[in-house]
Amino acid sequence: MANWFECKVRYDKIQENGAVKKVNEPYLVDALSFTEAEARITEELRPFISGEFEVSAVKRTRIAEIFPDDSADKWYLAKLAFITIDEKTAVEKKSVSQMLVAGNDFKGAYDNLLEGMKSTLADYEIVSISETLIMDVYKAKLS
């Protein structure tokens, strides 16, 4: 199971009009520890950022699963409530999980979520889908 860390990276970004602006962008990294997450994001971004940059924050996320789409340019956070019935009391219980879904727009993210959840046997309902500021996602490297 993946351990997802959100890493915020601060650097000077050249805008379309040529102006330089200091930005603080979030990225998602699959890592075993905070230290590995910081090292991985530094390694992944070094070729793409000219000049100095720093990892300004690293925090663990509660993302259970990621549904990527190579043609999409945005990431959406979907909250799903999985429905179970307690056998003893016959009471319906809901446990919420967070999924990260790629999509070009809300409809694309919704469709990708349904496609990704198609093989699940559990009953669930979509609680919310919201656009995130996450720039990119870096999965674990397989050796």
pLDDT at 44 over 70: yes
**Distance from the first to the final alpha carbon of the chain:** 16
Q: What is the pLDDT of residue 51?
A: 84
Q: What is the pLDDT confidence band of residue 143, given thresholds at 50, 70 and 90? A: low
Residues 51 and 20 in one domain: yes
Q: What is the pLDDT of residue 134?
A: 97
pLDDT tens readout for residues 6-37? 999 999 988 889 898 999 999 999 999 999 99
pLDDT tens readout for residues 87-114? 888 888 999 999 999 999 999 999 999 9
The total of structural domains in the chain comes to: 2
Number of other residues whose CB lies within 10 A of the CB of residue 97: 16
The three-point CA angle 72-55-39 to 5° equals 85
CA distance 72 to 107: 12
Displacement of CA 134 from its chain's centroid (Å) = 7
Displacement of CA 73 from its chain's centroid (Å) = 12
Q: Which domain holds residue 19?
A: 1-61
| CATH number of residue 26's parent domain | 3.10.20
- Region 106-127: mean pLDDT is 94
Residues 50 and 94 in one domain: no
